[in-house]
Chain A
Amino acid sequence: METNEPLVRVRNLKKHFPIRRGIVFERTVGIVQAVDGVSYDIYRGETLGLVGESGCGKSTIGRTMLGLYPPTAGSVNIAGIEVTTARGAQMRLLRRKAQMIFQDPFASLNPRWTVSAIVGEPLRIHNLEPDRQRRDERVKELLELVGLSGRHVNRFPHEFSGGQRQRIGIARALASNPDFIVCDEPIAALDVSIQAQVVNLLEDLQTQLGLTYLFIAHDLSMVRHICDRVAVMYLGGLVELAASDVLYEHPLHPYTQALLSAVPVADPKVARKRQRIVLQGDVPSPINPPPGCRFHTRCPIAQPHCAQVVPEWRQAQPDHWVACHEVEPKQGF
């Protein structure tokens, strides 16, 4: 499915949140550098995984890419639309062509809405099916597309199980015929036996509709399964990006290596033999991130200059991106 044509292009994207204190005289007392200069492409038809520990900035990247947060700096281009400057018709087109799926699809929706209202809303907003009856037909079609029965249209979200609710969220995201979907931890709240159902559905839809995904998750086993390429994030920045099998079999960045070595393996023989790289301490605060390489405070191979110089985001091998001073480029490249 994957082509060599980028559908999404992100360059030096930054999103900082000021922390304000005071009621009468509000002042900025600090800045959360939630996303601090990330660059990558997402190719048409591929699934790019985005992994990293909680608070490292994954959701902020997703939201900023879709124009839900104004960026602090940098650019995002989705299917030719420059997100950071889009206005009017361009913005409306973007709202149709790029969608998001959340961990809890109903957290931000009115619980008194029926499934029909929830899934049909994007059709109304974008005036895609002005005719009421045609709209109801389309909602039924969408529900069937995600494996639910068209008979469910008049029910309410609380009448559904977690897996079914996620299907409804997916149907809603698909209503406006998007090209690109940011999936933000879509299976994190689901039981193991249901996760596989939803992942299979997302894969089928991708094949059927030619969708491109950014798949944000913290389950690294599932990410390997579903993603063509994977980006690893630490404290607001990308540390590594490569094809899934390359990243999992030959991780270059010491953080990626530590992260992978901590993933629990469902095989007692492997689990017992495995060498873990146990990182010391906690992730530092994104308010005052460490200077130089942000990982240097926990890095097992850090050198003095790592605390001073920000490592460049570069290809250590063709299409294998890494931000680390200590990783050598492959001979001859």
Chain B
Amino acid sequence: MKDDRTNAGARPLLEVNGLTMRFGGLTAINNLSFSVQPGTIHGLIGPNGAGKTTTFNVVSGYYTPTEGRVLYKGQDISGLTMPQVAARGLVRTFQHSTLFQEFSLLQNVMVGRYMHQRPTLLGAILGTGAKAARENEAKARETLAFFGLQLRAHELAAELSHGHQRALGMAVALAAEPDMLLLDEPFTGMNPEETRQMMDLMFKVRDRGVTILLVEHDMQAIMGLCDRITVMNFGQLLVEGAPKDIRNDPKVIEAYLGGARHVA
């Protein structure tokens, strides 16, 4: 079933070509190329500091790449701003729980609805956007319910446990109705049971037609979820393949052990 999804013949949804990102003298990404097929969950893994988050930052428009191109739906999106990239249907989450802490859960998700609501000042004053606002609120509540957070809609985001905050971060992104989600370590702070539930939700999201690019250190989650995995090390592509190949690849094991020694 899984292998059917990695239909190599189809046009990739996301293509990263010869991407290089330098910060002064530090090369965070070095000539990286990989592609993500539509309708798949694609893993991007590597030891700490490999450049995964930086890759996300470049793809999502937070940074402009030093060299190389990012193609999304066949179009060059390198150099676009984050809102412009989001408007094309590519939405990312952040590695550290990035939420509107002072907002209620519902308000957080409502911000995710922004692109679909396009509120105007005049509409706000005249109250003409009321119907759209109600529809968007309904959508936002639906998204909360999808993550099992509907009963806490009016609590403040700051009051959630870390795991729930990660879920809310995904809810905000999903509320924007993206075609592709970039998730940066969504399972940190979750206990094994929460991780398992979240994995089920990921499959559901994918089955809705959303393509997922996933950065995660939890190897069980990665191996269980991904159709295909790209491994990075020191900003470069190490190997790419199906989970079972990656698991046993000596280069990957070496990189992780080496990386572990670095970190320790």
A binds B: no
Task: Point out residues on A near B: beta carbons under 8 Å.
Answer: none
